Structure 1
Amino acid sequence: MIIEKSNPHVGPSFSFSHRVRRQCWNVIYVVFFRYSFRPLHRWRAFLLLLFGAKLGKGVHIYPKARVWAPWNLVVGNYVGIADDVNIYNMDIIEFGDYCVVSQGSHLCGGSHDYNSANFQLFAKPILLGKHTWICADSFIGLGVSVADGVVVGARSVVTKSIDDPWAVYAGHPAVRIKDRLNVINSK
């Protein structure tokens, strides 16, 4: 997918076939996905599945959510992804069951090597565990895993994996601020 040692000033960073697939997806996104009625979650899921997404049951992806590459999208059961969420999934981005991502959040799976002469593009996966909530306008960086049950507070920046389950993190950079009740094991 990513062309190694390319010069982005004079040539593409991605293979021709990848760029064609993304352009086809962009047309489908603009014409059929983005302007679909809000309750048509199954319709949007169908479009994502056509382009290789792996989706569980009961998935609610809202029409203004932006998915860069559906074939790198893995979504568990009963996941909610709000409007204006940017899923920049140059590598796999996976959402665990019952995960919620609130409006305006940005999941960024790609970056550039600032120590290379051509600012080489690279990508790493992002994994959000089960029962996580990424609150409004948060940023999740490439290579980050978020443990089950974690809440990331609004406008937080997560650049390192969060390994402590059932906790609340917030800030820039996000730090643990309190425990969260494990609602699964407390029943």
Structure 2
Amino acid sequence: MHDINVIDLSRAPGERAAWDQPTWKVYAWAICELIFVTNPWQISSGVRVQILKAFGAKVGRGVIFRPRTRVKFPWKLTIGDRSWIGEGVWLHNQDEVVIEHDVVISQETFLSTGSHAHRRDMALLTSPIHVGAGAWVTSRCVILGGSKIGRSALIRPLSLVAGITVPDGEVWGGNPLQYVGRRFERSVS
């Protein structure tokens, strides 16, 4: 039974590998995130957006950003016009997350661009996430690094998207993720 490897986590590389910003900026963001973004009070969505922009997020016009959200690194976040980020969404973006225009990311959804080299040394591995225009990621989904969600695609509640491409206009759901059908009967512009 003792012939199974155990990785010594004290030697794992990369605790700060994804920071790519000065330490003071990462800590300043942590304080602002706690006060203005993660805060459960109904502070204005506009205030949250301005704080995100002040730390380098690219956020379009008319974006709604609900309370209790988390953003790991705003300088690695792009959100297009008129998108909605629901209450309790966690963007654990150690790599780039791009959310195009008119996208809905619903309540309690978790997007994570990071993982670990679990067979080697637990080093940080990252891969971007891209969510296409008009897509809807419904509540309590998990979207992992390397995932691409197509234009006007829909991900059903409690689904896991693990580094795959969901085609434009399709509905997918579950764990394991499966094709459910088309979102619209005809093309929508």
Name the TM tier (shorter chain).
0.7 to 0.9
* Residue 19 (structure 1) shift: 4.1
Residue aligning to 2:16: 14
Shift of the 164–69 alpha-carbon distance from structure 1 to 2, 3 Å rule, reads: same
Paired with 1:22 and 1:69, the residues of 2 have a C-alpha distance of 8
Specify the code of the residue in structure 2 equivalent to 1:14: R
Q: Can you give the 5+ residue segments of structure 1 that lack an aligned partner in the other structure?
A: 1-6
5 Å-filtered alignment, 1:115-126, equals: 115-116=119-120, 118-126=121-129
**Candidates 14, 27, 32, aligned match of 2:31:** 27
Map 1:11-90 onto structure 2 (within 5 A): 13-14=15-16, 17-35=21-39, 37-38=41-42, 40-90=44-94
Q: Which residue of 2 aligns with 1:102?
A: 106
Separation of aligned partners in 2, 1:68 and 1:97: 21
Taking a change above 3 Å as real, the CA distance of residues 153 and 115 of structure 1, as seen in their structure-2 partners, is same
Contact kept in structure 2, 1:54 and 1:74, CA below 8 Å: yes
Q: Is the 8 A contact 1:169 1:176 kept in 2?
A: yes
Distance 2:79 2:127 in 1: 17
1:20 Cα offset (Å): 3.4
Q: Where in structure 2 are there 5+ consecutive unaligned residues? A: 1-7
- The alignment partner of 1:74 has SS state of strand
Normalised by the length of structure 1, the TM-score is 0.87
Displacement of 1:36 in angstroms is 7.2
1:175 and 1:106 map into 2 onto residues whose CA distance is 19
Whole-angstrom CA distance in 1 between matches of 2:65 and 2:135: 16
Q: How far 1:34 moved relative to its partner?
A: 3.1
Give the root-mean-square deviation of aligned CA atoms. 2.0
> Which of 166, 177, 181 lines up with 1:178 in the alignment?
181
Question: Are the aligned partners of 2:115 and 2:126 in contact in 1 as well (CA < 8 Å)?
Answer: yes
The normalised TM-score by structure 2 is 0.86
Identity score, percent = 24
CA contact (8 A) 1:96 1:129 kept: yes
Provide the C-alpha distance between the structure 2 equivalents of 1:12 and 1:164, rounded to a whole number of angstroms. Answer: 33
Give the Cα–Cα distance (whole angstroms) in 1 for the partners of residues 40 and 122 of structure 2.
Answer: 38
Aligned to 1:3: none
